[in-house]
Amino acid sequence: MKRLLIGLVALNAVLLVLGIGRGGDAECRADVCVGLVFDVGGLGDKSFNDAAYEGLLRAKSELGVGIRYIEPGDGSDRESALRDLARDHDLVIGVGFIFTDDMRKLAREFPGTRFAAVDYSTEPDEVLPDNLLGLRFREHQGSFLVGAIAGLVSETGKVGFVGGMQIPLIRKFEAGYAAGVKHVCPRCEVLAAYAGTEPKAFADPAMGRELAAAQINRGADVVFHASGKTGTGVFQAVEEAGVRAIGVDADQYPDLPCCMLTSMVKRVDVAVYEAIASAVRGDFEGGVREFGIGDVGVGFVYDDNNRDRIPSPIIERVEGLAAAIARGDIEVPQR
């Protein structure tokens, strides 16, 4: 069993200056110690990072693991954060595709430490080492479902999509969403835009607001975002215009009660929890594990908060589409 000791006060002071946040157990006294490094945007994004944090807290509560987490300043210091945790933890988790290269490197450097990377980006014919687990999702499937909802409720025949960083991962959201819209509403138009080509595109609310406002001005009455903290700006534009939004990763209704139609749920919390549980059980295996509709890895929110906004016949139709995807009757495009 490995132990994490408290760092020196001077070191903590330096970390604060650099914008690096730390939290969790000051000293790990559990049989399994888990460290987690958040993606750009950190805690409070009410989306991707917060979902990972929920999985971490659940593992602490239900499995009794010790936890430690780090929020890198601008993201460039993520390797040093991972390396710091790898020295003293049984399992180290990186949240976000930008950790891929660092995880690949550190897994070889620390063969006695297990690593898990959320949204790990595999290379062609890549074989992951036994101590590295890539956690991936079929985001296009969940996005197809909320796209179908958007297409069925839109009154203007125009809907919007705002992505964060323009990369293949986020294009999966757009591709699935557009396919879902067109499946139920061939005449509908999907307006799409991205906040940038650098990781900071996931933490730019001002740009999110600008892009969403432009789509709304062109007639979009539903806007789906896959942009992390940039989505808070999307929500501002939606609220100001009185149209509808679709959240991402987690149930984002609390962030926009006035206008949230539904959210495409990506169960990052489940993926993080399952990775930790495998380390606790002792059956952790390297490789890639995908979470899709069939294993409740992705889906959409339908509860008392949005029941009056989506007619039940629409939900019945969309649930039928979900079943068809799970059976393989509908193949959702990824780009």
CATH code for the domain in which residue 157 is found: 3.40.50.2300
**Structure confidence at residue 185 (pLDDT):** 98
Tokens of residue 75, six digits: 């993201």
Are both 179 and 290 inside the same structural domain?
Answer: no
Are both 233 and 257 inside the same structural domain?
Answer: yes
Give domain status of residue 35, yes or no: yes
Are both 37 and 128 inside the same structural domain?
Answer: yes
Owning domain of residue 92: 31-137+268-295
More confident residue, 5 or 298: 298
Are both 244 and 125 inside the same structural domain?
Answer: no
Assign 74 a pLDDT band (cuts: 50, 70, 90). Answer: low
More confident residue, 2 or 304: 304
Are both 74 and 114 inside the same structural domain?
Answer: yes
Average pLDDT, the chain: 91
In angstroms, the Cα distances linking 11 to 15, 20, 40, 74, 298 are 6, 11, 22, 18, 40
**Structure confidence at residue 76 (pLDDT):** 62
Give domain status of residue 260, yes or no: yes
Are both 49 and 167 inside the same structural domain?
Answer: no
Domain count, the chain: 2
Give the tens place of pLDDT for each residue, 252-295.
999 999 999 999 999 999 999 999 999 999 999 999 999 999 88
Are both 288 and 313 inside the same structural domain?
Answer: no
Give domain status of residue 3, yes or no: no
Are both 257 and 285 inside the same structural domain?
Answer: no
Mean pLDDT of 237-253: 96
Q: Which of 15-19, 115-119, 308-312 has the lowest mean pLDDT?
A: 15-19
Residue 307 has pLDDT above 50, yes or no: yes
**Structure confidence at residue 19 (pLDDT):** 40
Are both 281 and 214 inside the same structural domain?
Answer: no
**Structure confidence at residue 48 (pLDDT):** 83
Give domain status of residue 228, yes or no: yes
